[in-house]
Amino acid sequence: PLLLTEFLDRAVRLYGDKPAIINEDDTYTYKELNKRVNRLSHGLRALGIQKGDRVAYLAPNTLEMLEGFYGIYQLGAVMVPLNIRLTPEDYLYILNHSESKALFVDTELFHLIEPIKEKLTTVTDIIVHYAEESTDQYRSYDNWSGSFPEDAFDREELSEDDVCSLLYTSGTTGKPKGVMLTHRNNYLHALSTMHHLRVSDRDTLLHVLPMFHVNGWGSPFYYTANGATQVMLRKADPAIILDKVEKHRVSIMHMAPTVLNAVLDKYNSKKPEIEQDVRVVIAGSAPPLAFVSRVEEDLGWEFIQVYGMTESSPLSLASYIRSHHLDEPKEEHYRTKAKAGVEMIGNEVRVVNDEGEEVAWDGTEIGEVVTRSNGVMKGYWKNEEATQAAIRNGWLHTGDMGVVDHKGNIEIVDRKKDIIISGGENISSIEVEGIFYEHPEVIEAAVVAIPHEKWGETPHAIIVPRNGAELTETEMIQFARERLAHYKCPTSVSFLEELPKTASGKIQKVHLRNQFWENREKKVN
Ligand code: ATP
Ligand code: MG
């Protein structure tokens, strides 16, 4: 069967003595990692964790987080990674909803669990990473796991269709949903992703993307399988990122566009150039065109955009340049990479109209992105109704709207819920935001639909100006008018110091929009 445990086995056999994990100042080989994983599995069994039980993790990207995956999988238990920026109330909901039996928490995050621990209905043990000593409330991870043997663990019999992770969605559009992914889902997703990113044993990954976020797009799996070196990162701070890039000769990073934006800013202020070997950086969530050229020209890093969702393991599109387009001018490459891309191996992705037919490859017709693949989830945990609504005739309906250009590249126009419908015309909030990113004094922009008497809806822009910049509403509207069709231009603009975001750095437009729709609902087609 296709089981994720195979990936670590391979690394131990072929790369056993290689520096595998760099955690702050300590380096561990794959053999050492494996011993720690075995101790954890023995410990979990001693706690009474059985096949199928959920075990939750609340941790930034640390060695302990990474070993958690493999330690849990050896028992056939299910990893439930928790987003580290939620509130205690959110944790209470997810821990009880997932019926998790044990909870591992980083010491810096324990204060988020403290206020709710009496209300946890299924968690019987709390284990704290980096806690010096055990208390009456929790066990110290090192003390506890240190008492178990590090030799081979007698694994549970598993089938590839067994669930390995229960991942809660980002909650960009509402309450997070629990997505059940199987070993087969993640295994085949890992094969596809490592191929498209050309991952090899020569790579050094800096773990920028949080592993709690759909397992960092599967990065704990395919970097391990290939025997790459993995550098942990607690905080996605641009100065720390650039230091580690230089110190560990990082070759590859995955990150949210917001983090990439911050790195670009920091890097430009840090010239003369740092010594570095980064070959590629990967981002999701529709980075604006202006980013792509800055990454490739200012930083000299190859840029790949990917598209996916928790429900599809997650990635299904990648914006790489195919060989028959290599001769195109650079500007055309940037335009391609500002789109989500083409289907990755193992995924069928289509943009379909209301009749379910594929839209023409001419960039004009907007349809919903649907996908059918080995990565599509088993279903939503305890929500059969939502599962049936999402997966119809074997196709996952993503809720994202796209168009396809004449080369077959899919561009995500918007989420169904974020699209602005003004006087019957569809306006992509992403397109309008992209215009503002061309303005040198704009750091971030979000465009949302607000109610309009005549047009039904009209675009409203929320702008974060660069520190100290004096921008006005009229100036911003004028800026858009010079670059966009009139009906797409925001009719009003407001300014904020910061935009509300999810832990993975996505702008929560629903929060920005709601204040304008007090007593009514924005219509979703
Ligand atoms: P929730 O489902 O709880 O509202 P979410 O959809 O943000 O949250 P995720 O599964 O983490 O949760 O994110 C998947 C979504 O992110 C996609 O459905 C899509 O809207 C957006 N996304 C991902 N990659 C891209 C991309 N390259 N371009 C545009 N949007 C993207
Ligand atoms: Mg979603």
| Ligand located closest to 400 CA | 1
Separation CA 248–CA 399 (nearest Å): 40
Separation CA 452–CA 520 (nearest Å): 13
Domain 420-514's class? alpha beta
Q: Tell me which residue has its CA closest to atom 17 in ligand 1.
A: 309
| 371 within ligand 1 shell (Cβ under 6 A) | no
Closest-lying ligand 1 atom to the alpha carbon of residue 415: 20
Domain 5-193's class? alpha beta
Residue 310 CA to ligand 2 centre (angstroms): 7
Q: Is there a shared CATH topology between the 236-415 domain and the 420-514 domain?
A: no
CA–chain centroid gap for 222, Å, is 16
Radius of gyration of the chain (CA): 23
Nearest to 432, CA basis, from 467, 481, 392: 481
Ligand 1 test: best mutation among 83, 172, 189, most atoms within 8 Å of CB?
A: 172
Number of CB atoms found within 10 A of residue 468's CB = 6
Q: Tell me which residue has its CA closest to atom 13 in ligand 1.
A: 309
Nearest to 306, CA basis, from 332, 330, 280: 280
Residue 173 CA to ligand 2 centre (angstroms): 7
Q: What is the pTM of this model?
A: 0.90
Those residues with Cβ within 8 angstroms of residue 132's Cβ, 6 or more apart along the chain or in another chain: 140
Query: Given this model, what pLDDT does residue 525 score?
Result: 46
Residue 431 CA to ligand 1 centre (angstroms): 16
Separation CA 202–CA 180 (nearest Å): 32
Residue 488 CA to ligand 2 centre (angstroms): 25
| 305 within ligand 1 shell (Cβ under 6 A) | yes
Query: Given this model, what pLDDT does residue 104 score?
Result: 98
Q: How many CA atoms does the CB half-sphere of 241 hold within 13 Å?
A: 26
Nearest to 103, CA basis, from 80, 84, 121, 126: 126
Separation CA 380–CA 362 (nearest Å): 35
Ligand 1 test: best mutation among 86, 255, 285, most atoms within 8 Å of CB?
A: 285
Query: Given this model, what pLDDT does residue 33 score?
Result: 98
Separation CA 178–CA 361 (nearest Å): 34
| Ligand located closest to 377 CA | 1
Which amino acid, one-letter code, is at 302?
Answer: E
Q: 236-415 belongs to which homologous superfamily?
A: ANL, N-terminal domain (3.40.50.12780)
Separation CA 36–CA 148 (nearest Å): 9
pLDDT beneath 70: ranges in the chain: 270-272, 503-504, 519-525
Q: How many CA atoms does the CB half-sphere of 343 hold within 13 Å?
A: 17
Ligand 1 test: best mutation among 168, 309, 366, most atoms within 8 Å of CB?
A: 309
Separation CA 223–CA 325 (nearest Å): 29
Where in the chain are the domains? 5-193, 236-415, 420-514
Number of CB atoms found within 10 A of residue 7's CB = 23
Q: Tell me which residue has its CA closest to atom 12 in ligand 1.
A: 170
Query: Given this model, what pLDDT does residue 455 score?
Result: 87
What's phi and psi for 508, nearest 5 deg?
A: -90, 85
Separation CA 130–CA 481 (nearest Å): 54
Residue 459 bridge partners (DSSP):
449
Closest-lying ligand 1 atom to the alpha carbon of residue 306: 27
Map residue 17 onto helix, strand or coil.
coil
Separation CA 181–CA 377 (nearest Å): 5
Q: How many residues in the chain?
A: 525
Query: Given this model, what pLDDT does residue 502 score?
Result: 79
Written as one string, the DSSP assignment of 266-298 is HHHHHPSPPP----EEEE-S---HHHHHIIIII
261 torsion bin: left (phi>0), alpha (psi -120 to 50), beta (else): alpha
Map residue 101 onto helix, strand or coil.
strand
CB of 17 within 8 A of CB of 45? no
DSSP state of 385: H
The end-to-end CA distance of the chain, in Å, is: 42
Nearest to 274, CA basis, from 304, 303, 241: 241
Closest-lying ligand 1 atom to the alpha carbon of residue 214: 11
Sign of CA dihedral 283, 287, 289, 295: negative
| Ligand located closest to 416 CA | 1
Q: How many CA atoms does the CB half-sphere of 209 hold within 13 Å?
A: 21
Q: Tell me which residue has its CA closest to atom 3 in ligand 1.
A: 171
